[in-house]
Each structure stands twice: as C-alpha cells, then as structure tokens.
Amino acid sequence: MKINYKLVIILLLPLLQSCLFKDNCKKINLRSDEKIWFDSFRKGKIFSFVSNKGNTDDFECSELLNEYTLCNRIEKGDFSYNEVMMELSSLKKRKNRIAMFFSKDIQDDTVQNCYKRFRVIDMKIEGNLDLSQTERDTLIDGQKVNINYFSSKTNSYIQEFIWSKQLGLVSYTTISGEIFQRRYFLKNSVSQLYFAMIFF
C-alpha cells in the first residue's frame, strides 16, 4: 500500500506544532480578585448542610484544579489561558454535585470579566458575569461577608442559591421550598442571612 506522506504530514502538523511550542505561549492569567473565589476550598474538605426540615447533606471537595490550556498556536494563537475549577460531590447521592469554573480561554488582558460557571446540582449560572453588580455585604457572626444571590426561572430542582466569595456556597433552596444552609453559618446568623436576601 502506498503511503500518502503529504496527508500524514498534514494530519500530524497540529500535534507537532503543539509539542514544539508547548512552553512558548504567553500565559493569560485570572486576576487575584477572581482566584479568591477558590481560596476556601481544599481537596478532601467536607462541607455540611442542614435544611429547615431537619435533612442533612455532606459534600466533599473532590476536584480542585488550577491549570492552563495547552499551547496550540494553530487553534488558540500565541496564548495559554488560565482555568480554575472546583467540584463538590455529595456523600449521599454521588450524582449531586456543586461546581465552580472560571476561565480566561480565548480572552486577552483587556477583557474585564472572565467566563464563569456556577452549578448547584441541576441549576447552572454561566457567562462573562460581572459579579460585582450582584454582590452584597452582610454580617455573619459579626464578620462582614460578600454574598451573591442567584435564582432560577425554570422548573429545576434547585431554585436559588447564595454564594460567598470568601466562604463558598452558603445556602440553596429546592423547588419544594426546603432551604439547606451550611452548618458553618448556623450558629448565630440565620436571621441575618435571610434578612440580607430580601434586598436582592
């Protein structure tokens, strides 16, 4: 069988190119005020939630990654883009997951807001979100905390959730009205937290 060397070269060129320039791309980094959203997570850390009906759920931080896209000048130009991701897996129902993903992919230093994705079980919020526009300050156990409130207009199981930049997921509400709140916040802060929610 005659080998078509031109076709082989064409097919192998992207791979060869990626290898040759693997470490020679300019890195486009997430800003420090974007990476801070991941500071409260450590792989293996357990996050416990209890509901207003007495039900509980525990989530383990199963993934925590801070990486760059592959240097590929053909597909992505002269840049390698920073991506940070964390995922929590329910210890009761493994398919139930909570995740956060920030990426600078196909953006340059002039783009103000990186791509962001928040997911709480089946509710997802994503886009080049300017979270400062929905950020509010509240006091939790005497500590000033920034929180963002997200709500759904669909019939998803999760209807709304509150996320703190400093502390991670604070609470989430199901379609039946059951409210799960982090145990961390339960000591003195339930009334403060839900008072803060009415301003959204």
Q: How far apart are CA 180 and CA 172, in angstroms?
A: 5
Q: How far apart are CA 172 and CA 149, in angstroms?
A: 10
**Average of per-residue pLDDT across 167-193:** 76
123-175 pLDDT, tens per residue? 999 998 888 888 888 876 677 788 899 998 888 999 999 998 888 999 999 99
**The predicted structure's pLDDT at residue 193:** 47
Look at residue 195 in the predicted model and tell me its pLDDT: 39
pLDDT beyond 80 at 106: no
pLDDT in tens, 24-52: 788 888 989 899 999 999 999 999 999 99
pLDDT, position 80: 87
**Long-range pairs for 143-150: beta carbons < 8 A, 24 or more residues apart:** 147/193, 147/196, 149/197, 149/200, 150/118, 150/123, 150/125
Q: What is the arithmetic mean of pLDDT over 79-102?
A: 92
pLDDT confidence of residue 77: 72
Q: Taking the domains of the chain in order of start, what are their residue ranges?
A: 25-197
pLDDT tens sequence across 52-84: 999 999 999 999 999 998 887 776 678 888 999
Task: Give me the pLDDT at residue 10, please.
Answer: 58
The total number of residues written for the chain in this structure: 200
Q: Does residue 22 have a pLDDT over 60?
A: no
Q: Using 50, 70 and 90 to split pLDDT, how confident is the model at 110?
A: low
Residue 199 pLDDT grade (very low, low, confident, very high; cuts 50, 70, 90)? very low
What is the chain's mean pLDDT, rounded? Answer: 81
Predicted pLDDT at 198: 36
d(CA 56, CA 48): 7
Triad 170, 162, 69: Cα angle to 5°: 90
Amino acid, res. 163: W
What distance in Å separates the CA atoms of residue 155 and residue 174, rounded to the nearest whole number? 10
